[in-house]
Amino acid sequence: MKLRRVLIPALLAVLVTSFVPQVADAAKAPKAKAKKYSVTMKKAYLPAAPNKGTDDYRCFLLDPKISADSIIRSIEFVPQRKNYVHHAIIFRVTEADIAEALTADKSGIGWPCFGGTGLGGMLSSFISSPWLSSWAPGRGKDISPAGYGTPIKKGERIVLQVHYNLLAASGGMIETDQSKILIDAIPAKGATVKELGIELFAAPVELACPSGVTGPLCDRDQSLIDLATRTTTKSALDSVAINALCRQNPYKPTPSLTSRCDKVMRSSFNIIAAGPHMHLLGRSLKLTLNPGTATEKSILNVANYDFDDQSATVLKSPIAVNPGDTIRIECTFDPTLRQKIPQLKDLEPRYVTWGEGSSDEMCLGIVSTSK
């Protein structure tokens, strides 16, 4: 299969994670009385990877029964099977997508959703179903910093997307999962907190098989075909499109242990916090504002990336970003770890690209912002 057409993805999925900062408030929370909500997956779900793969992306429609327009102060994903939940993302489902979501989840055990929720089409999915929060190893409760919060309206539902990494199942045993979400919120009426938003920064991943390592999937085209087979065709197209977005040859990229991409900003915002997301081959991740200029500022510098600690870093002071500014993401990888890590060493050698699976890779910075 030859990928002749570049599709710009609506937004990069995985993933992973909104990375609303998980720190205790340094000041008193708003005086409005908080209300607690708890919602559990309607039915237990037995994860199963499609097409002999090792990853299952599943979306579940949940109704927390929000009783009034509110501001979320904290939100927590509580995984029942923490050992093989790779990450989870919590999406807010607005009125525009509720009918489609109800149809998708009519069985009560969700629907497959590599990428985003799949609701509303590619572009509208992340407009009508924006992120509320996320969970990845090393993260617990997302507690908004003092003065910030995330809006949700009365009666709105949420979609929980769970990425099950079946390579990590203890002894290969897969059990049903029925995870839950806990929410603390205050009434929106009279609240003075600022709304948090999300900006994503991604770079392509192009890791050739290490010297002396060979196999059919060490060919990039064959690796992309395999990626499309065990996830979705869109995943393979995303891998190609990210190269194009980052001004690199989408069809014949140069393999490198370093991934980099510059993104020019079109709007103004303040950066409140930032977090990293890579998979098992990641070594380091940096986010830099206006690199190589007199106004260069470090946003995030994770020198020793730890997959089991993807917590966000709250900035000491917000960083102002203006239209025309550039934010660079840069990641480094070590593909020789595929022959060493227990989850990966028995897998067939492959050319590693951006992809949804735990045996694929990502270079993604997740930034919490406020106007």
The CATH number of whichever domain residue 73 belongs to comes to 2.60.120.310
Q: Do both 273 and 131 map to the same domain?
A: no
Report how far residue 350's alpha carbon sits from residue 222's, in angstroms, rounded to the nearest whole number: 9
Q: Is residue 298 part of a domain?
A: yes
Q: Is residue 26 part of a domain?
A: no
Q: Do both 133 and 174 map to the same domain?
A: yes
Q: Do both 66 and 163 map to the same domain?
A: yes
The answer to whether 226 and 233 have CB atoms below 8 angstroms apart is no
Q: Is residue 29 part of a domain?
A: no
Q: Do both 206 and 346 map to the same domain?
A: yes
Positive or negative, the Cα torsion across 199, 272, 315, 320? positive
pLDDT at 328: 98
pTM of the predicted model as reported, rounded to 2 decimal places: 0.79
By DSSP bridging, strand 142-143 and strand 70-78 are: antiparallel
Report how far residue 212's alpha carbon sits from residue 88's, in angstroms, rounded to the nearest whole number: 36
Q: Do both 146 and 239 map to the same domain?
A: no
Q: What percent of the chain has pLDDT over 90?
A: 61
Q: Is residue 74 part of a domain?
A: yes
Q: Is the pLDDT of residue 176 over 70?
A: yes
By DSSP bridging, strand 282-289 and strand 297-302 are: antiparallel
Q: Is residue 16 part of a domain?
A: no
Query: How does pLDDT run across 202-225, given as a tens digit for each residue?
Result: 999 999 999 999 999 999 999 999
Q: Is the pLDDT of residue 347 over 90?
A: yes
Q: What does residue 316 show for φ and ψ, rounded to 5 degrees?
A: -60, -40
Q: Do both 206 and 183 map to the same domain?
A: no
The answer to whether 70 and 152 have CB atoms below 8 angstroms apart is yes
Q: Is residue 108 part of a domain?
A: yes
Query: How does pLDDT run across 275-319, given as a tens digit for each residue?
Result: 999 999 999 999 999 999 999 999 999 999 998 888 889 999 999
How many domains would you assign to the chain? 2
Q: Do both 47 and 172 map to the same domain?
A: yes
Query: Which helix (H) or strand (E) segment is 97 a member of?
Result: helix 95-104
Instruction: Write out the residue range of the structural domain in which residue 363 sits.
Output: 197-370
Q: Do both 152 and 84 map to the same domain?
A: yes
